[in-house]
Amino acid sequence: MKRGWLLLLGLVPFVFLQQGKATQPETWTIVVGGNTQGYLTPCGCTKPMLGGVRRRVTQTKEACKDHPSLVIETGRLAQGNPSQGLSRQAEMKVETLAETLRFAAVDVIALHPLDRFLGDAGLNGVSRLSRAPLLDTSPMIPSSETMPEFRKGPFGVLNHDPARGKAGIDAVGAIVKSSPETRWMVVTAGNRQEGEALAKEFPELILVVYASESQIAFSPLQVGRVWVVSPGVKGQGMLRLQWNGEALDGYEAVRLDDETPNDPDAARIYRRYQDRVRAEKLLEQMPRTSEAAYAGSKACKSCHTEEYKIWKDTQHADALATLERDFHDSDPECVGCHVVGLESTQGFVAREKTPHLTDVGCESCHGPAANHVKAPEKVRMPKKGAESCYGCHNSEHSPTFDFATYWDKIKH
């Protein structure tokens, strides 16, 4: 009986829909990902971490296998603020991201205003490696590498920079009005409010993608007939939408968690990036900003025997190995939290050269102790509390960190 009313409710509109169609409209899958900000891989010591371009490629391939597809990358490719100049590692990450996106068959990369600071040669590299055109509808800095609009199938894609004010709105309006038969989508560098404003300004759009400040939203926002969506932040998720030939009618917010396997092509490219980081010796080139003298954990052992024994059984004492297993042990962004004193001229250099400073040791929390070891009574070590954990166990890399829970694991 339960199924009876269900069938009535469910099938009637469906049958009606089928009968009303003269021809079968073409179904499209639209995938929106991006706002990667250099986060090629989830980074952290707490599982499950979200994101990663290798997972994104897997999910994009999966999403696009049944229907014609439009894959949009929303830009903000590099970490930090490229207007201040890019580090060598940030440059390599942009190249790696672009090359990886090739395997996701990205159709267009809608540039974020900060991407413009990559310069023409940098943008050429992005386009060349991703094999996708770059979109900049209202460029602040004109570039020979970008185009003002992108079209595929019934769709057109534009982007919008809120900092361009009226000029940015007018640029979108001029293109949208000039081709009313096209189903337009706009990627804005603005936030949700600015996305909603665009949707109100141009009700003929079908989709507005905004730059989110948060995790991916699990339902679209609808302003009239316009869907206002965001793929979230730092490439942690992606959106999969469906176009039924007349309107958007499907929305899946895909969280890129550890249930999604890495795509083998993307994994190969990522592995090559790790090799490039190693080959260019970026770790060795890191500026050493202090001269703090470290002694190594073994130097503490003779007086703090019990504490040393406890430490030896913790994951801290094997911290570098976790990076070595994933080939991240030459990555300047990772190593600092897995060794002692990477910031110091007298700190960790390499496992072979400074074995005593390998892994998270006593001095990672208690501070440099070489002077204390020389004169224990004269040079006292300061008391340390939870604050000494927060440098590494921050909300970015250790989002579920709770001092009381974690302290239990290393209590000494």
| Site residues (CB under 8 A) for other proteins, limited to 117-146 | 117, 119-122, 124-125, 128-129
Q: Considering only residues 177-206, where is the footprint of other proteins by CB under 8 A?
A: 189-191
268 or 351: whose CB is closer to other proteins?
268
* Beta strands at 28-33 and 237-243: parallel, antiparallel or unpaired: antiparallel
Site string for other proteins, 336-375 (x = CB under 8 A): ----------------------------------------
Question: Least distance (Å) from other proteins to the CB of residue 125?
Answer: 6
Backbone phi, then psi, for 260, in 5-degree steps?
-90, 120
Q: Are 341 and 348 in contact (CB under 8 A)?
A: yes
113 or 296: whose CB is closer to other proteins?
113
234 or 295: whose CB is closer to other proteins?
234
Q: Considering only residues 260-289, where is the footprint of other proteins by CB under 8 A?
A: 260, 269, 272, 276, 287, 289
Angstrom distance (rounded) from CA 367 to CA 388: 9
Angstrom distance (rounded) from CA 388 to CA 386: 5
- Three-class SS of residue 385? coil
218 or 407: whose CB is closer to other proteins?
218
Q: Considering only residues 100-119, where is the footprint of other proteins by CB under 8 A?
A: 102, 113-114, 117, 119
Could you tell me how far CA 190 lies from the centroid of its own chain? Answer: 18
Site string for other proteins, 148-177 (x = CB under 8 A): --------------xx--------------
Instruction: Point out which residues pair with 228 in neighbouring strands.
Output: 208, 221
Q: What is the DSSP string of 17-75?
A: HHHH-SS-PPPEEEEEE---TT--S---SSSSPP--HHHHHHHHHHHTSSS-EEEEE--
Q: Which region, judged by CB under 8 A, interacts with other proteins, from 303-311, 345-353, 357-365, 390-398?
A: 390-398
Joined together, the tokens standing for residue 237 give 């998720």
- Three-class SS of residue 217? coil
Q: Does 394 bind other proteins (CB under 8 A)?
A: yes
Angstrom distance (rounded) from CA 332 to CA 349: 11
Q: Does 314 bind other proteins (CB under 8 A)?
A: no
Q: Are 75 and 34 in contact (CB under 8 A)?
A: yes
Q: Considering only residues 5-34, where is the footprint of other proteins by CB under 8 A?
A: 6-7, 9-11, 13-14, 17, 25, 27
Q: Are 349 and 285 in contact (CB under 8 A)?
A: no
311 or 401: whose CB is closer to other proteins?
401
Given candidates 139, 173, 250, 332, which one binds other proteins under the rule CB under 8 A? 250
Question: Least distance (Å) from other proteins to the CB of residue 96?
Answer: 9
Exposure b/e, 306-337, CB count within 10 A at least 16 = b: ebbeebeeeebbebbeebeeeebbbbbbbbbb
176 or 223: whose CB is closer to other proteins?
223
Angstrom distance (rounded) from CA 342 to CA 353: 13
Site string for other proteins, 56-95 (x = CB under 8 A): ------------------------xxxxxxxxx--xx--x
Site string for other proteins, 206-225 (x = CB under 8 A): -----xxxxx--xx--x---
